[in-house]
Chain A
Amino acid sequence: MLNIKCPYCGDRSQKEFAYGGDGTITRPKLNQEISDEEWDNFVYLRKSPRGKHIELWHHIAGCRQWFKVERDTTTHEIFRTFKPEE
């Protein structure tokens, strides 16, 4: 069970969080002209990197804030957690 430091609440157990997917994806802007391929990439395609990766997590059983976590996908080491605007 991971120990995750919510940037708003501090160290908490993984039980309080929900994983929210790849944290490096940017949603295309509204009303933006975009090709089928670009849109499909946004909706479906995710890298599954081995090693360092930035992820989204959601403190669902806590402050309900979404935030980012830089984590090693092989060792589960967490290097930093930060607010989405950081």
Chain B
Amino acid sequence: MSQNFRLNTGGLINRDKPIEFKFNGKKYIGYEGDTLASALLANGIHLIGRSFKYHRPRGFFGAGVDEPNAKMQVEINGCSEPNINATEIELVNGLSASSQNCWPSVNFDIGAINNFLNRFFPAGFYYKTFMWPKSFWYRVYEPFIRKAAGLGIASLEKDKERYEHKYEFCDLLVTGSGPAGLASAYAAAKNGAKVILAEDKPRYGGTLLTDDVTIDNLSGKDWSEKIISELKEMPNVIVKNRSQVFGYYDHNMMVMFERTGDHLEKKPKYTPRQRLWYIRAKEVLLSTGSIERPIVFGNNDTPGVFLSAAAKEYMKVYGVLIGKKPIIFTNNDSGYETAIEFKKNGVNPIVLDTREDQNSELINEAKDLDIKIKFSYAVIVAHGYKKVKSATIGKLNKEKIDFENTEQIDCDSICVSGFWTPTVHLASQSGNKLKFNDSIDAFVPDKSKQNEHSLGAANGTFTLQDTLKNSFNTGLEVSKSITKKEEKIQIPNTNERKYSAHDKFWCSPLPKGKNYKRFVDFQNDVAVSDIEVALREGYRSIEHVKRYTTLGMATDQGRTSNLNGLQLVANVEKKIVPQVGHTTFRPPFTPVTIGTIVGREIGKEYMPTRKTPMHHWHEKNNAVWVDAGAWKRPRYYKRGNENLFEASKREAKNVRDHVGVCDVTTLGKIDIKGPDAAEFLNRVYTNAWLKLPVGKARYGVMLREDGIVMDDGTTTRISENHYHMTTTTAQAANVLSHLEYYLQIVWPELNVNVVSTTEQWAGAAIAGPKSRDLLAKLFPKIDVSNEALPFMGYVEGDLFGVKARIFRISFSGELAYEINVESDFGLFMWEKIIDIGEEFNIQPYGTEALSTLRIEMGHVAGPELDGRTIPYDVSLEGLVSKKKDFIGKRSLAKEAFNKADRQKIVGLVPLDRKSSIPEGSHLVENKNAKLPNPKLGHVSSSCWSVENNNPFSLAILKDGKNMIGKKLFAVSPLKNTSIEVEVMSSHYVDHEGKRVRS
């Protein structure tokens, strides 16, 4: 079969460039400029898929975004993607498409048995049927429904394509390049405004490409080409085709996707497949046009039934006949335009007009062309299973609720026109409450909530002359307020045919005794009878009817079904459509690929990676990484075949026996300056800060206002009015915001400035009994004796020419120091420490050993400061000042925080001295108690104590103070463990803290 339905001439396709493609495994030829849909239709292919619920044969219905049926699985460049609209995808060499929702093939589909069982599939079928027995849901019903439902198949392969995001700003965004869009964009651009004009199709012009009109004595197409080429020359204008504005968000944030790659036969390497545009527009002009409404009749979903405007577009744009024996079924003059186009191409259509005999420019033209017209006629039912073969038509009685006579006539296609529905989706998304316009039987935008205007058909204006006049004027008016210029443009003369009034007829009645399926929503298989069932069952709100029947919930968002659905509800309820109201339109207007939404933020680009200046050294020395927020930290340094447990034990032991070095650059660092800095710290921390001398550090705890511990760390007084605060890695950003809040909002009278210096300083902690000897060698000029540099002392020094800060602070509980140098010298410092430390058996240690050291010392960290603990709970109550006020102090007076049996941190060891206690285990008195077993506390941190060579854990335990010596069970249902433990002090090593002061 070779393009038997392609006209010999005409259309905007490139007949010099044939393109080969595949559909359901078979090869076909189309032309450059075709869509997949037009190329298949040129080859006479109508059966392209099966419907969602009943597996009925389905064909093309529209020619663009309005298409509800033609969703296909498409393969391009080896990537398979489901649910691609065949009316939107452009034909490229090698494209391969296949039908969805059918098995084994679209021609013979087993699922079609649903069609014959359709009385068992009423509205709400799933809700009604799969309710019981409850236990069947997971095992039987859900797998069954999952298999039966859904359309295409998502690829399991990683998406190899490239997607990009782009940010743009403009004065005016114009959505759609039909007459309204072109006129308003042109007027605004000429007036100096920065304009973006977006067109979703590859060709500009919208209806100007298919309507028989002239503007300034040019054809619609020629005029649109002239305007577009002028716009493209203007530096203040961006013109984009293949670009769908799909979302209208707050403050005129418009989101658009551009199909940059799919239409290219050979896509350059760095051209993305699709691009997402975030456009912040001062004003938005919605020139989105309108979509033709179907008329509902029996079996109106049979392949071969089209929207009449789509049939015209296939002829005029693609040179394709959708049929050679068409019926045009219309309630308005638009159908005649299609009929005339058929006639011009040598096809004799029959027009069935639901209106009585009348004259208008179009009707007279059709009569003059000898087109057969039957007035007061309607299609009752289409015949033919996989393609329309004939139709039963009838003469309507006066009330149009029954037929005076019926007859069957042969045909191969039926083109319906039920008048036009403005495309108000974006206006509605902007918050515009729509109003019903009686004269066009449709909703149109009402008052704007944001800076937007709807123009032309999108606003219910269906004549070219009015559209151009309004659009030129609006373009000028809106731009005037932005550019303060007023460059007027002569509004062009137009020539168009006058329409006569349309008929409100929207659904053919059923002859007595007949029960034809009449579909309202094709994509979700919702028929008139389904909506009637929902109403009979008591659903009243249109939002409920929608959800119960799934009317308008498919990917086409009910573009062709919405108003007919509302009309049906109104009729049954004896209301009018505006009383029924409409459902909410939400973004996206058309489906958007996940790839486009994600853009380049995939894999390691998903979030920034923070690396310390010593990162490459760690890498070279077999660091195994752990993520700490965005930071990469060495978890341990692997030697030979060591695992995590062995390596961390070795590293921790080496700290206890000799000396270790740890990269602590990731700790949050905040520089605090100002005459009121001491007073500020005194309010932020729970302990006293006014008397901290210069050159000393102090450990501090800060609370939230609700009394819960927020963070802890040391702060050092560098000079009189200069402090250096450290925070935990995780809380660094929150603490800075917290400090800024109090300085800027609560106590602006304090003269203090804070700034993050986390990335300005590289930090290395050297810990262990040999750390002083090492420090002496690193800083030969400094007296590092216990007297000169005591615990919590601070001194500045010279590290082989590099300025360094030395803090005698300890997280490991050992004699320890922290050295900070400017980040650029971080690696230099680290290598010096490793080099010189060699004689002291230095080893680097990672976060796992770091945790081991702090846990067995009983130092609290993130797992204990988990947003649920007050100072008492983590045994920091000694740091809470009784004398002064501070953030959160008043909350500590709460009754619950002062109960005698308040939870408190304790240590745990397993009775067998062998079993590791999983973190998160629950502590219970009796492991065999009846459920729910009262929980006394939970295990927060666990390690293998290298000092005592057995497992040790920290736990938050109810009445922990009085539980020392008791035996409990640590049970973990997750790990299925139950370990008997002994409760002890949380300080398992060096209870008196001698080592840090040695």
Which residues of A does B touch, CB under 8 Å?
1-3, 13, 18, 20, 27-28, 30-31, 34, 36, 39, 42-44, 56, 58, 60, 64-66, 75-78, 84-85
Are B251 and A76 in touch, CB under 8 angstroms?
Answer: yes
Are B251 and A66 in touch, CB under 8 angstroms?
Answer: no
Interchain residue pairs A-B with the least CB separation, the first 3: A3-B251, A30-B885, A66-B744
Given contacts A58-B737, A60-B737, A64-B740, contact A2 B251 (CB under 8 A): yes
A1-B250, A36-B893, A39-B891 given. 6 additional CB < 8 A pairs? A2-B251, A3-B252, A3-B280, A18-B737, A58-B740, A60-B733
Nearest A residue to B743, CB-CB: A66
Contact of B741 among A2, A20, A44 (CB under 8 A): A20
Are B253 and A1 in touch, CB under 8 angstroms?
Answer: yes
CB-contacts of B730-747 with A (<8 A): 733, 736-737, 740-741, 744-746
A30 to B741, CA, bound (A): 16
A77 to B737, CA, bound (A): 26
Give min CB distance, A50 to chain B, whole Å.
15
Nearest A residue to B249, CB-CB: A1
Q: List 17 A-B contacts (CB under 8 A).
A: A1-B249, A1-B250, A1-B278, A3-B253, A18-B737, A20-B741, A27-B705, A27-B746, A28-B890, A56-B741, A56-B745, A58-B737, A60-B733, A64-B740, A65-B740, A66-B744, A66-B745
Are B251 and A65 in touch, CB under 8 angstroms?
Answer: no
For A43, A75, A78, the residue with the greatest tally of chain B CB atoms inside 10 Å of its CB is A43
A32 to B660, CA, bound (A): 48
Give min CB distance, B245 to chain A, whole Å.
15
What interface size band does chain B fall in?
A: 20 to 34
Q: Does B449 contact A (CB under 8 A)?
A: yes
Q: Does B748 contact A (CB under 8 A)?
A: yes
Give min CB distance, A16 to chain B, whole Å.
12
Using Cβ atoms and an 8 Å threshold, which residues of chain B touch A36? 893-894
Q: Does B706 contact A (CB under 8 A)?
A: yes
Chain B 652-685 per-residue mask, 1 if CB under 8 angstroms from chain A, else 0: 0000000000000000000000000000000100
Q: Does B18 contact A (CB under 8 A)?
A: no
Nearest A residue to B706, CB-CB: A43
Q: Does B862 contact A (CB under 8 A)?
A: no
Are A66 and B250 in touch, CB under 8 angstroms?
Answer: no
A1 to B251, CA, bound (A): 7
Are B745 and A84 in touch, CB under 8 angstroms?
Answer: yes
A3 to B450, CA, bound (A): 12
Are A13 and B280 in touch, CB under 8 angstroms?
Answer: yes
A34 to B745, CA, bound (A): 21
A44 to B370, CA, bound (A): 80
Are A31 and B885 in touch, CB under 8 angstroms?
Answer: yes
Are B250 and A84 in touch, CB under 8 angstroms?
Answer: no
Give min CB distance, B539 to chain A, whole Å.
27
Are B740 and A76 in touch, CB under 8 angstroms?
Answer: no
Are B891 and A43 in touch, CB under 8 angstroms?
Answer: yes
Contact of B748 among A30, A39, A85 (CB under 8 A): A85
Nearest B residue to A38, CB-CB: B890
Using Cβ atoms and an 8 Å threshold, which residues of chain B touch A30? 683, 885
Using Cβ atoms and an 8 Å threshold, which residues of chain A touch B431? 75
Using Cβ atoms and an 8 Å threshold, which residues of chain B touch A75? 431, 449
Using Cβ atoms and an 8 Å threshold, which residues of chain A touch B890? 28, 34, 39
Give min CB distance, A73 to chain B, whole Å.
12
A43 to B921, CA, bound (A): 32
For A31, A76, A78, the residue with the greatest tally of chain B CB atoms inside 10 Å of its CB is A76
Give min CB distance, B685 to chain A, whole Å.
14
A84 to B748, CA, bound (A): 9
Using Cβ atoms and an 8 Å threshold, which residues of chain A touch B737? 18, 58, 60
Nearest B residue to A3, CB-CB: B251
Give min CB distance, B885 to chain A, whole Å.
4
Chain B 777-796 per-residue mask, 1 if CB under 8 angstroms from chain A, else 0: 00000000000000000000
Are A66 and B885 in touch, CB under 8 angstroms?
Answer: no
Using Cβ atoms and an 8 Å threshold, which residues of chain A touch B705? 27, 42-43
Give min CB distance, A30 to chain B, whole Å.
4
Give min CB distance, B28 to chain A, whole Å.
44
Nearest A residue to B895, CB-CB: A36
Nearest A residue to B252, CB-CB: A3
Give min CB distance, B100 to chain A, whole Å.
34
A2 to B745, CA, bound (A): 23
Are B706 and A66 in touch, CB under 8 angstroms?
Answer: no
Given contacts A20-B741, A85-B748, contact A76 B250 (CB under 8 A): yes
Using Cβ atoms and an 8 Å threshold, which residues of chain A touch B885? 30-31
A3 to B252, CA, bound (A): 9
Using Cβ atoms and an 8 Å threshold, which residues of chain B touch A60? 733, 737
Give min CB distance, B252 to chain A, whole Å.
8
Give min CB distance, B354 to chain A, whole Å.
43
Give min CB distance, B501 to chain A, whole Å.
38
Chain B 221-252 per-residue mask, 1 if CB under 8 angstroms from chain A, else 0: 00000000000000000000000000001111
Give min CB distance, A21 to chain B, whole Å.
9
Using Cβ atoms and an 8 Å threshold, which residues of chain B touch A84? 744-745, 748
Nearest B residue to A11, CB-CB: B280
Nearest B residue to A66, CB-CB: B744
A30 to B883, CA, bound (A): 12
Using Cβ atoms and an 8 Å threshold, which residues of chain B touch A31? 885
Using Cβ atoms and an 8 Å threshold, which residues of chain B touch A1? 249-251, 253, 278
Give min CB distance, B253 to chain A, whole Å.
5
Using Cβ atoms and an 8 Å threshold, which residues of chain A touch B449? 75, 77
Nearest B residue to A83, CB-CB: B744
A39 to B706, CA, bound (A): 10
Are A66 and B683 in touch, CB under 8 angstroms?
Answer: no
A64 to B449, CA, bound (A): 31
A30 to B748, CA, bound (A): 14
A18 to B748, CA, bound (A): 20
Give min CB distance, A68 to chain B, whole Å.
9
Are B706 and A44 in touch, CB under 8 angstroms?
Answer: yes
A60 to B242, CA, bound (A): 37
Are A65 and B250 in touch, CB under 8 angstroms?
Answer: no
Give min CB distance, A28 to chain B, whole Å.
8
Using Cβ atoms and an 8 Å threshold, which residues of chain A touch B746? 27
Using Cβ atoms and an 8 Å threshold, which residues of chain A touch B253? 1, 3
Nearest A residue to B756, CB-CB: A64
Using Cβ atoms and an 8 Å threshold, which residues of chain A touch B250? 1-3, 76
Give min CB distance, A41 to chain B, whole Å.
12
CB-contacts of B399-424 with A (<8 A): none
A70 to B626, CA, bound (A): 43
A31 to B280, CA, bound (A): 48
Give min CB distance, B276 to chain A, whole Å.
13
Give min CB distance, B568 to chain A, whole Å.
32
Using Cβ atoms and an 8 Å threshold, which residues of chain B touch A64? 736, 740
Chain B 741-771 per-residue mask, 1 if CB under 8 angstroms from chain A, else 0: 1001110100000000000000000000000
CB-contacts of B705-721 with A (<8 A): 705-706
Are A66 and B280 in touch, CB under 8 angstroms?
Answer: no
Give min CB distance, B767 to chain A, whole Å.
34
Nearest A residue to B250, CB-CB: A76
A60 to B732, CA, bound (A): 13
CB-contacts of B249-267 with A (<8 A): 249-253
Chain B 270-309 per-residue mask, 1 if CB under 8 angstroms from chain A, else 0: 0000000010100000000000000000000000000000
Using Cβ atoms and an 8 Å threshold, which residues of chain B touch A27? 705, 746
A43 to B894, CA, bound (A): 12
Using Cβ atoms and an 8 Å threshold, which residues of chain B touch A34? 890
Nearest A residue to B705, CB-CB: A43
A76 to B559, CA, bound (A): 28
Nearest B residue to A29, CB-CB: B885
